[in-house]
């Protein structure tokens, strides 16, 4: 039984994670955007066996909200595990205003929160384990979703930096970066489903297993995406530029 902070509890993967973590009887701190939906998630988690829960509705696109969230996190006595999930699929032809907001939600705020949480964990005697969620889209700049992919790629580099910083301060703090492939969720509702799609439950299961393994690093979910992305990364430009990927 651990204390788990989950940011993004009302997303598809978030909901699966809450179910899995609550069933294990963990003490959960939940953050999500929609207050009513979050309340529903909290009730479900309590019924499934989570003993103590506090929750806070937060819109990551709102700076003031994020400052309040930072205070809220600092007030938690001890955070053993933390998962940062938020993400919006960017419109590749979006306006400047839309793109600015996307970067806030996909990169800036998650990085800021990751910094806050890793600092907190570094001061805890038992350290902690922080998990950030990225995407295979960040592995190579591709014309089909380059803006979304680059935000996720940037987040991966920041996670790497955090891993370095925490290794220097307190080696009991682990930082994992999980890269799911295609996942069935409201984010991918418009995309045609094929055999490459995973269920949110599968990703949640992988994330929960990271806590028992207790190692820092980059993980693909499911694991076979590592091979696919390796091939994508190795394809030379003169071939890749002919594709519409």
The residue ranges that bind another protein (CB under 8 A) are 12, 36-37, 40-41, 43-44, 47-48, 184-186, 189
Those residues with Cβ within 8 angstroms of residue 203's Cβ, 6 or more apart along the chain or in another chain: 13, 16, 178, 180, 183, 221
Least Å distance between CB 26 and another protein?
16
The 8-class DSSP code of residue 198 comes to: B
Least Å distance between CB 227 and another protein?
21
Which residue, 49 or 214, has its beta carbon nearer to another protein? 49
Least Å distance between CB 18 and another protein?
10
* Distance between CA atoms of residues 145 and 138, nearest Å: 9
Pair of tokens at residue 130: 């922080």
Which residue, 108 or 185, has its beta carbon nearer to another protein? 185
Residue 144 contacts residue 131 (beta carbons within 8 Å): no
Least Å distance between CB 99 and another protein?
25
Strand duo 81-84 + 3-7: pairing: parallel
* Distance between CA atoms of residues 23 and 20, nearest Å: 5
């Amino acid at each position: 039984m651990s204390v788990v902070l989950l940011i993004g509890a009302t997303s598809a993967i978030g909901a699966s994670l809450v179910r899995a973590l609550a069933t294990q009887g963990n003490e959960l701190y939940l953050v999500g955007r929609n207050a009513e939906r979050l309340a529903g998630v909290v009730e479900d988690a309590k019924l499934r066996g989570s003993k103590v829960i506090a929750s806070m509705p937060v819109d990551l696109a709102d700076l003031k909200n994020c400052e309040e969230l930072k205070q809220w996190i600092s007030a938690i006595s001890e955070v053993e595990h933390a998962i940062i999930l938020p993400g919006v699929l960017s419109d590749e032809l979006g306006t400047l205003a839309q793109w600015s907001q996307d970067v806030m939600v996909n990169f800036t705020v998650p990085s800021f929160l990751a910094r806050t949480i890793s600092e907190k964990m570094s001061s805890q005697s038992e350290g902690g384990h922080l998990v950030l969620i990225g995407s295979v889209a960040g592995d190579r700049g591709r014309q089909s979703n380059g803006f979304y992919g680059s935000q996720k790629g940037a987040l991966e580099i920041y996670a790497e930096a955090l891993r370095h910083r925490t290794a220097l301060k307190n080696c009991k703090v682990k930082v994992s970066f999980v890269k799911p492939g295609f996942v069935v969720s409201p984010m991918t509702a418009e995309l045609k489903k094929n055999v490459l799609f995973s269920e949110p439950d599968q990703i949640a299961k992988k994330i929960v297993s990271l806590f028992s393994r207790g190692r820092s690093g980059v993980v693909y979910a499911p694991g076979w995406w590592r091979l696919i992305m390796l091939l994508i990364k190795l394809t030379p430009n003169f071939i890749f530029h002919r594709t519409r990927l």
